[in-house]
Amino acid sequence: MRAGRLKHRCAFMESQKVKRPGGSIIESWVELGKLWAEITIPTGRIATVADQLQRLVSAEIRIRHRVDVIAGMRLVHQTKTYLIEAALPDNDQTMLRLLCSNVVNP
């Protein structure tokens, strides 16, 4: 049995408004769950696609297809946080290619 390419365990997060005990509402990143991913650095032809996103893309992340993944959400792997710039499905609707940028101060 092979481990496969999806070998990175990531937390999937989205920004939500959360009510604090004092009654104030703040924007906070809430974990929606865990997923398996393949994280790579874009090179060659992929870098050309990244250039169209104003050179923000620093990683390409592949995950199994999900309908709830959109640009603006985050993936966290160990100590690195990635902001999803674009979610591109493959032709078979089995995988998603996420073009992501690093978040410096998550």
Q: Which residue has the higher pLDDT, 98 or 48?
A: 98
Specify the pTM: 0.77
pLDDT tens per residue across span 58-82: 889 999 999 999 999 999 999 999 9
Domain that holds residue 51: 8-102
43 falls within a domain:
yes
Between CA 88 and CA 99 the distance in angstroms is 8
Assess if residue 1 is contained within a domain.
Answer: no
Look up the CATH number of the domain holding residue 35: 2.40.10.270
**Domain-located, residue 74:** yes
What percent of the chain is modeled with pLDDT above 70? 81
Q: Angle at CA 82, nearest 5°, toward 30 and 95?
A: 90
pLDDT reading at 96 higher than 90 = yes
- H-helix or E-strand spanning residue 48: helix 45-51
Residue 57 pLDDT exceeds 70: no
pLDDT at residue 106 is higher than 90: no
Which of 21-25, 33-37, 55-59 has the weakest average pLDDT? 55-59
Query: Is position 40 within any domain?
Result: yes
For residues 81 and 9, give the distance between their C-alpha atoms in angstroms, rounded to a whole number.
Answer: 13
Place of tokens 């709830």: 68
Query: Which residues does residue 88 pair with via DSSP β-bridges, in sequence order?
Result: 97
